[in-house]
Structure 1
Amino acid sequence: MAIIHDGKEKRAGYLRWGLVPSWAKDEKIGYKMINARSETVHEKPSFKNLLARKRCLIIADSFYEWKKLAQGKQAKRIQVKKRKLFAFAGLWDKWVQDERELFTCTILTKDSNEYMQNIHHRMPIILPKNQEDEWIKPQKVKAAGAQQFLERIKVDPFTAYDVSEYVNAARNNDEKCIASLV
């Protein structure tokens, strides 16, 4: 689920994860654009204009990351400690080709905070509740200004636990994905 602001009101709906920019020749580019580095997003042609005018909230209750271990990787489910739902900072775009429309998005990431460093070197940007509306404000802002806003975000504390490899297959979408191994 995602939330955008259309200039008049907030709208909720589904965006496909994996950004397909409006100018792209092939929608397969979206497979390479699931995340965008917040540190350089204001400089990249693929993201610069979207950062200025097409920001979105991507609603979630958790996310997964894989911690490297000596014997392989361990999937972790990560949640914000004091919130059942939260919003990732995202960018979206509309792609049209041959009467086919796709509404797609990407999640902005940054270097991991102290908690996440133990799990992975990058993490998604999760907006504090009181800054969600500011992120999707409809007025156009300079890309550098939006990037500076992201730099000032303070992250709420996380909690994490081990989950099974079952979560590694995109076709799996049930309670087994969130079941603790302990």
Structure 2
Amino acid sequence: MCGRFSLLQSPEEVEAFFALDGLEAFPPRYNIAPTQPILVVTAGPPLEPGSNRPDREAHLVRWGLLPSWVKDPKDFPLLINARGETAATKASFRTAMRHKRALIPASGFYEWKRDKATGQSQAYWVRPAGGGICAFAGLMENWMAPEGSEMDSAAIITTAANADVSFVHDRMPVTIMPEDFARWLDCRTQEPRHVADLIKPAPLGYFEAIPVSDKVNKVANTSPDVQDRVEPKEFVAKSDKPGDSTPSSDDGQMSFL
């Protein structure tokens, strides 16, 4: 899954990467968490002949998709991720997959390498190799309350992790490359079956995984030091500590959730 991510680039850099115009100023965000506002990009209304406005729009929405048919959000789980393998058929996502595909600007995401034997975990900051901006595949929905209030929300689509990430976790966000932005966002002529080939792991070498401290575990920690590189932890079971002759049950091998 993808439960935290970051957006560090300036509004001007985001505008240039996604061919947008008129973004309001926003600060770098180092530790974006579920239920917080996130920036998403969708296709705009059809362009009139001769129009020079961008054909994409930016929206600020809640991270945690809420399907339009939900009666009471309090009784519905928080959908921060959608599995790419079932997004086109699962009731919670199929309408958005057909009509409201989106791009989610990001500078990378966080994932945790967990060891069942010890209960320990190591956080990783997974970013485009060398830095830069990327676009996660997203889904957007609009929910309206009975009294008329509205809420826009979104989820990040995930897929099986590639070798750059799978040593940390078995899932990763689907990343849409710039040459595929238009096709992914085109919900008028491109049905889910037409863009199914884009739901795949990022190319090998596109991401790098950097071990970081446990500071990122807390939502309140939003300063740049959550991305400082650290030495990764060694997962050592109590029975494997020096002086303890009892071997661990898994013979020192790591296991992942």
The TM-score normalised by the length of structure 1 is 0.89
Gaps (5+ residues) in structure 2?
A: 1-38, 47-54, 232-257
Gaps (5+ residues) in structure 1?
A: none
Question: Aligned partners of 2:189 and 2:75: how far apart in 1?
Answer: 26
Query: Which residue number in structure 2 is paired with residue 68 of structure 1?
Result: 114
Identity of aligned residues (%): 30
Segment drifting more, 163-172 vs 139-148:
139-148
If you compute each CA radius of gyration, which structure gives the higher value, 1 or 2? 2
2:230 corresponds to which letter in structure 1? L
CA contact (8 A) 1:109 1:125 kept: yes
Query: Which residue number in structure 1 is paired with residue 135 of structure 2?
Result: 87
Segment drifting more, 133-142 vs 18-27:
133-142
User: For 2:174, which of 111, 125, 148 is the aligned residue?
Assistant: 125
Segment drifting more, 56-65 vs 157-166:
157-166
For the pair 1:102 / 2:151, whether they are aligned, the reply is yes
In the superposition, relative to structure 1, how do residues 29 and 169 fare at CA in structure 2: closer, same or farther (>3 Å)? farther
Query: Which residue number in structure 1 is paired with residue 67 of structure 2?
Result: 21
User: For 2:190, which of 132, 138, 141 is the aligned residue?
Assistant: 141
The alpha-carbon deviation at position 20 of structure 1 amounts to 0.5
Tell me how large the CA RMSD over aligned residues is.
2.1
Question: Aligned partners of 1:101 and 1:44: how far apart in 2?
Answer: 23
Question: Aligned partners of 1:50 and 1:39: how far apart in 2?
Answer: 15
The alpha-carbon deviation at position 82 of structure 1 amounts to 5.2
Q: What does residue range 17-56 of structure 1 map to in structure 2 within 5 Å?
A: 17-28=63-74, 31-56=77-102
Number of equivalent positions: 182
CA contact (8 A) 1:18 1:104 kept: yes
The alpha-carbon deviation at position 116 of structure 1 amounts to 1.2
User: 1:76 is paired with a residue of what secondary structure?
Assistant: strand
The alpha-carbon deviation at position 80 of structure 1 amounts to 1.1
Question: Aligned partners of 1:152 and 1:66: how far apart in 2?
Answer: 18
User: 2:209 is paired with a residue of what secondary structure?
Assistant: strand
CA contact (8 A) 2:98 2:187 kept: no
The alpha-carbon deviation at position 147 of structure 1 amounts to 2.6
Q: What does residue range 105-116 of structure 1 map to in structure 2 within 5 Å?
A: 105-116=154-165
Larger relative contact order, structure 1 or 2 (CA cutoff 8 Å, min sep 6): 1
In the superposition, relative to structure 1, how do residues 135 and 30 fare at CA in structure 2: closer, same or farther (>3 Å)? farther
In the superposition, relative to structure 1, how do residues 140 and 127 fare at CA in structure 2: closer, same or farther (>3 Å)? same
The TM-score normalised by the length of structure 2 is 0.65
CA contact (8 A) 2:88 2:97 kept: yes
CA contact (8 A) 1:38 1:110 kept: yes
The alpha-carbon deviation at position 32 of structure 1 amounts to 2.9
Q: Which has the higher strand share?
A: 1
User: 1:84 is paired with a residue of what secondary structure?
Assistant: coil
1:26 corresponds to which letter in structure 2? D
CA contact (8 A) 1:59 1:86 kept: yes
CA contact (8 A) 1:163 1:179 kept: yes
2:178 corresponds to which letter in structure 1? K
2:86 corresponds to which letter in structure 1? T
In the superposition, relative to structure 1, how do residues 155 and 109 fare at CA in structure 2: closer, same or farther (>3 Å)? farther
Segment drifting more, 149-158 vs 123-132:
149-158
User: For 2:126, which of 57, 68, 78 is the aligned residue?
Assistant: 78
User: 1:177 is paired with a residue of what secondary structure?
Assistant: helix
